[in-house]
Structure 1
Amino acid sequence: MLSSRIETPTGPLTVLADPDGMVYAAGFTTESAELLALVHPRLRGPVRDRTDLGPITSAVHSYLDGDLAAIDAVPVRQHTDGAFLAHAWETLRQVKPGEPITYTEFAELSGRPRAVRAAAMACAQNAAALFVPCHRVLRTDGGLGGYRWGLPVKTWLIAHERRSDPGRDEARAAAR
């Protein structure tokens, strides 16, 4: 497993990936070991540091430069013993940048409208932050809720996505 640290305006983003460019874990930390603990035991392996992960690093830089869709094409592999979590993580990848949803809406999109706590658990157990954008899920009252990497990081990510998507405001104005 390869590890690389990418500097962001909100601190370092460390990514664990395989040599083929599949992300296994990512988080706003400098500690590869902290991320490795989030990876399912069947997927773990020795970690080797790299300065660059090619397309993954490029996608993160493009995202930070305002191309919010750049991270969508990066493949992610998380393993779970439950079908709901796998489906919920795929569902998270469909949530549009700059358009956060609530945990209730996330549960509905995931096919289990009454499973709000399970939807929140899917966010909490997500090992591939940024690429599986659990930061785009808010409390029902619009509050931030939690985020493994801290609320300042979640706040920055949401603000970045809103700033970088001027078409979002134009589309809302046109819909009125």
Structure 2
Amino acid sequence: MSNTIDSARIETPVGPFTILAGPDGAVRAAGFTADPANLLPVMHPSLRGEPRTRPDLGPVTAAVAAYLDGDLAAIDDVPVEQHSGGAFLSHAWQVLRDVKPGEPITYTAYAGLAGRPAAVRAAAAACARNAAALFVPCHRVLRTDGTLGGYRWGLPVKCWLLDHERPGRD
């Protein structure tokens, strides 16, 4: 790891949220953990670097704070940089960024939106391999029966995020 990447931690109602960003400010990884080292294995090797702790990451941190304060669209325009080694995953992650807060979809619907309606397992794999939690909102994808399914950062976190985004929650 020869590159340096910036790391910042934000306290949330469901625990610490850590963000790793490249020199251009694009989010390379994010997740509900206090330790940036927990994010490095989920990142593509070409994007990894030595985390350098910062008090905040400027507009990225501001966007997360605004999201937590109820501006659910605040994270939509935060740049994200992920590499998958495959065209489908990259496309699927971009499609996922268009899933609106408060409007979760099923893995089947997600596969359809990504252009491969029969590839439900590939859609689930895109969620599982997503390194930029929250910014690429894999928490908004549910099983066909409406149950939560899995989430790298735990089902209580996924449940909180979905509840936070639910219309009329206040």
| TM exceeding 0.5 | yes
Q: 1:115 aligns with which of 116, 119, 122?
A: 119
Q: 1:18 aligns with which of 14, 18, 22?
A: 22
What secondary structure is seen at the aligned counterpart in 2 of 1:118?
helix
Q: Which runs of 5+ in 2 are unaligned?
A: none
In 2, Cα distance between equivalents of 1:135 and 1:67: 17
TM-score w.r.t. length of structure 1: 0.92
1:27 pairs with 2:28: no
Paired residues of 1:68 and 1:164 also in contact (CA < 8 A): no
Compute the RMSD of aligned alpha carbons: 1.2
TM-superposed deviation, 1:163 = 4.5
- Residue 33 and residue 63 in structure 1: after superposition, are their counterparts in 2 closer, same or farther (change >3 A)? same
What secondary structure is seen at the aligned counterpart in 2 of 1:80?
coil
Q: What is the total number of aligned residue pairs between the two structures?
A: 166
Q: 2:165 aligns with which of 136, 148, 161?
A: 161
Structure of larger gyration radius:
1
1:51-90 matches, cutoff 5 A: 51-90=55-94
Structure in which a larger fraction of residues adopt helix: 1
Moved over 2 A (4+): 163-166
TM-score w.r.t. length of structure 2: 0.95
